[in-house]
């Protein structure tokens, strides 16, 4: 009897233990459901798009409703789609490279498994227009801590990127003409000197100054004078290559940097610009001319050396009667 009583007691204890485990499991399930409800509530009402992508197929397994506001897709339309459906080619290449790097770090055990990475890329909307998206990414892991999915939070930062671009533009351009400013031109010129010294690439400068511009301002007013500067800038832009740099050097002085260009070609361009100004007219003013100086970079020169030479050449043209050009006399620069 004592043995049977012990057996009964053990069974009672097992049932009690089982009930406690069941109760604990129910509490865990309830907590998980509560957390899931909280996650869903946050995801459904967040302005950012929360998503989960299967790592093996790189297809979306979950997306929050914000996908419609940011991308124009419904949740149903985006589920099952892959990276190539939402990323332009250049963004896709960058994301794949980053993913390869992260997986390599993971395989080598050299990174925190809870790490996050933030990237900014252009992405497609449903209508194939593009938006700039900031993505905060991390891996979702299985019980063996192996990555099985990517968890992401995506935010539209198009307006911020536009403002950054505008600020960069304001920092390097002349506000009146839209040509580059002096500081940016000097920075680019220093880089061009470095390239020329390293690879023996030629480059040339054209400097020109509008003749008697003070008379234009005094006679017609500064508003008309400003319009002349804008029209002249537009004319020059129409004649130079996209690789060339046009800057407003100061007042009515301008500078053109001609990359990979020898003196002879630079002189031809300056002659064409001079003739175009001599033959043309400017709104409200009529004929406006300029004096040009043209110089080619010489090996070993510093930035001040070539700037001084081209400035002297421009003033030589002015002293010679204006509406003309003076060029670098160095025969080796023309070969």
Q: How confident is the model at residue 255 (pLDDT cuts 50, 70, 90)?
A: very high
Whole-angstrom distance, CA of residue 76 vs CA of residue 87: 18
So what's the architecture of 41-161 in CATH? 2-Layer Sandwich (3.30)
Q: How confident is the model at residue 110 (pLDDT cuts 50, 70, 90)?
A: confident
Phi and psi for 301 in degrees, rounded to 5? Answer: -70, 150
Query: Is pTM, for the whole model, over 0.75?
Result: no
pLDDT at 298 over 70: yes
Stretch 134-152: mean pLDDT = 89
pLDDT at 54 over 50: yes
Residue 45: CB partners within 8 Å, gap ≥ 6? none
Residue 333 is predicted with a pLDDT of 43
Is 252 annotated in the active site? yes
Q: How confident is the model at residue 227 (pLDDT cuts 50, 70, 90)?
A: very high
pLDDT at 135 over 60: yes
Provide the β-strand partners of residue 213: none
Q: How confident is the model at residue 334 (pLDDT cuts 50, 70, 90)?
A: very low
Please tell me which residue in 166, 252, 271, 301 is annotated as part of the active site: 252
Whole-angstrom distance, CA of residue 33 vs CA of residue 45: 18
Neighbours of 6 (CB within 10 A): 10
CATH 3.30.450.20 in the chain, residue ranges: 41-161
Q: How confident is the model at residue 247 (pLDDT cuts 50, 70, 90)?
A: very high
CATH 3.30.70.270 in the chain, residue ranges: 173-334
163-218 pLDDT, tens digit per residue, is 998 888 889 999 999 999 999 999 999 999 999 999 999 999 999 999 999 999 99
257-281 pLDDT, tens digit per residue, is 999 999 999 999 999 999 999 998 9
Residue 18 is predicted with a pLDDT of 56
The CATH number of domain 173-334, selected from 3.30.1490.100, 3.40.50.9100, 3.20.20.70, 3.30.70.270: 3.30.70.270
Q: Count how many Cα atoms sit within 13 Å of the Cα of residue 79 in the half-sphere of its side chain.
A: 8
Neighbours of 150 (CB within 10 A): 22
pLDDT at 11 over 60: no
pLDDT at 309 over 70: yes
Of the chain, the percentage scoring pLDDT greater than 70 comes to 84
């Amino acid at each position: 009897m004592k043995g049977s009583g012990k057996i009964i007691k053990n069974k009672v204890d097992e049932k009690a233990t089982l009930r406690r485990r069941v109760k604990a499991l129910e509490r865990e399930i309830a907590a998980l459901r509560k957390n899931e409800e909280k996650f869903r509530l946050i995801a459904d009402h967040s302005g950012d798009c929360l998503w989960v992508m299967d790592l093996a197929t790189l297809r979306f397994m979950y997306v929050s409703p914000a996908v419609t506001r940011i991308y124009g897709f419904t949740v149903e339309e985006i589920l099952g789609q892959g990276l190539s459906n939402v990323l332009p080619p250049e963004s896709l290449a960058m994301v794949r490279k980053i993913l390869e790097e992260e997986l390599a770090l993971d395989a080598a055990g050299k990174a925190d498994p809870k790490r996050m990475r933030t990237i900014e890329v252009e992405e497609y909307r449903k209508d194939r227009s593009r938006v700039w998206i900031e993505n905060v990414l991390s891996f979702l892991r299985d019980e063996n801590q192996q990555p099985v999915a990517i968890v992401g939070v995506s935010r539209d930062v198009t307006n911020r990127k536009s403002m950054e671009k505008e600020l960069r533009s304001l920092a390097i351009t002349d506000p009146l003409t839209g040509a580059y400013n002096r500081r940016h031109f000097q920075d680019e010129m220093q880089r061009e000197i470095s390239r020329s010294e390293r690879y023996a690439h030629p480059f040339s400068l054209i400097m020109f100054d509008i003749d008697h511009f003070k008379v234009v301002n005094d006679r017609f007013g500064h508003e008309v004078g400003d319009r002349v500067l804008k029209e002249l800038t537009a004319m020059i832009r129409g004649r130079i290559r996209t690789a060339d740099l046009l800057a407003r050097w100061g007042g009515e002085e301008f500078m053109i940097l001609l990359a990979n260009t020898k003196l002879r070609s630079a002189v031809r361009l300056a002659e064409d610009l001079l003739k175009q100004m001599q033959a043309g007219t400017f709104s409200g003013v009529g004929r406006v001319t300029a004096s040009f100086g043209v110089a080619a970079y010489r090996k070993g020169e510093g930035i001040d050396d070539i700037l001084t030479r081209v400035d002297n050449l421009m003033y030589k043209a002015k002293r010679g009667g204006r509406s003309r050009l003076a060029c670098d006399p160095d025969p080796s620069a023309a070969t």
